Amino acid sequence: MRDDPELLDHILNHIDHGTTDVGDEEWLEPVDNYRTQERFDAERRLMRRLPVVICPAAMLKEPGSYFARNVAGIPLVVSRDLDGGLYAFRNACRHRGMKVAKGAACSKVFICNYHGWAYRLNGDLEYVPHEKGFPTLEKSANGLTPIHDVRVVNGLVFVTIDEPVTDGALSGLPDLLTDDQIVFDTGEYVEDTNWKLAAEGTLEGYHIKRTHTKSFFPYGYDNLNVIETSGPNVRVCFPFRRIEELREAPREGLRLDRMVTQVNRIFPCASITRLSHHFNVTLSEPETPTRTRYYNFRMTLALPGGKGSNAEALAKAKKDVAFLTDEGNQEDAAVVGGIQAALDSEANEYFRFGKYESAIAHFHKQLHSYLALMDS
């Protein structure tokens, strides 16, 4: 992917010529792929065999920290044990299947709230109340059930639940987050839409002028994007009009902070947006063909070259968020909801993504390719 000086010159060339990045061809996506249970089930099976982002690594900085959520319909918990080791398990007690962890916290053990069985953060079964009532129990063989793989790559925690069909996003993962960043806000919400519809809305600027007349368009451009792919992942850059102030700026050491918004789609379910002074990380968990749960994390920017301090970065990030409004997000949600409401109208056999929407085409091509690979 282009560095900031290269990105600046590419954007200025588009501004001067009234152009934007375009794809090679149109893409036709069948509408049934957004609404049938068969397709949804296939997508979730694939997600269990891909490396999927479960959370930013900054959520597990401290020994004893853990984070629990569903991934592809499977309850999981990732933990950092007291010695710093990273682990991931199916979030279910080995006695009666009760979840042993919820949300994010810090602890020395996982304790099941049903009967009190306790597990170390490395998954070992530590304590069973009235253990004599289980004469055949081998504690060493009844720790929490591990998944296939967990690892930290470029500031993200990836989990692979079952035997992988491919290395997926890891084959072209760009540098994004670092371990010195701070998660200063988290959230969770549900939308009654197919998970792919919201993803599509973040991957093109063809809709900016019409959909975001008051929120984004006064500060940006209509249908001007830089689109770059890296393996199955894609980055879309949305420049602000003030970027033209940098025409004569020295290119050496130049940074585009405050001049662009960059949306990174880490295949398949993570969206990492770099804004002026903070990152917004959104992870989608498809629950049904028409329901998606989202986990949101706001983070400070990485400190370039160790400059500044965490306190300064945090202050800038919080100030950045304070200046933002939810108007643009509400506009996008209204559009996505409108599409969802009309999916069963039978007006369209497929959706047509044009050359200005090539990032979306790339996303769907990867999804089709991996689904075919899983079935081969």
In sequence order, the 6+-apart residues with CB closer than 8 A to the CB of 375 are none
In sequence order, the 6+-apart residues with CB closer than 8 A to the CB of 217 are 208, 209
Encoded tokens for 281? 């990380």
- CA-based torsion, 285, 186, 238, 172: positive or negative: negative
The CA distance from 227 to 359, in Å, is 6
Considering only CA atoms, which of 156, 167, 196 is closest in space to residue 51? 167
Is domain 58-151 in CATH 2.102.10.10, yes or no? Answer: yes
Main-chain dihedrals φ then ψ at residue 243, nearest 5 degrees: -65, -25
* pLDDT, mean of each 10-residue run, the chain (376 residues): 96 97 97 98 98 97 97 98 97 98 97 98 98 98 98 97 96 88 95 97 92 86 96 97 97 94 97 94 98 97 66 86 73 92 95 98 98 89
In this predicted model, what pLDDT tens digit does every residue of 273-311 receive, in sequence order?
999 899 999 999 999 999 999 999 999 987 655 555 788
Cis peptide bond N-terminal to 286, omega within 30 = no
**Extents of the domains making up the chain:** 4-48+170-375, 58-151
CATH architecture of 4-48+170-375: Alpha-Beta Complex (3.90)
What distance lies between CA 280 and its chain's CA centroid?
9
The CA distance from 310 to 285, in Å, is 31
Coil vs helix vs strand at 371: helix
Supply the pLDDT for residue 375.
84
The CA distance from 112 to 115, in Å, is 6
Strands 27-30, 156-160: pairing is unpaired
Residue 189 vs residues 52, 197, 283, 296: alpha-carbon distances, Å: 19, 16, 11, 8
Supply the pLDDT for residue 141.
98
The CA distance from 166 to 298, in Å, is 29
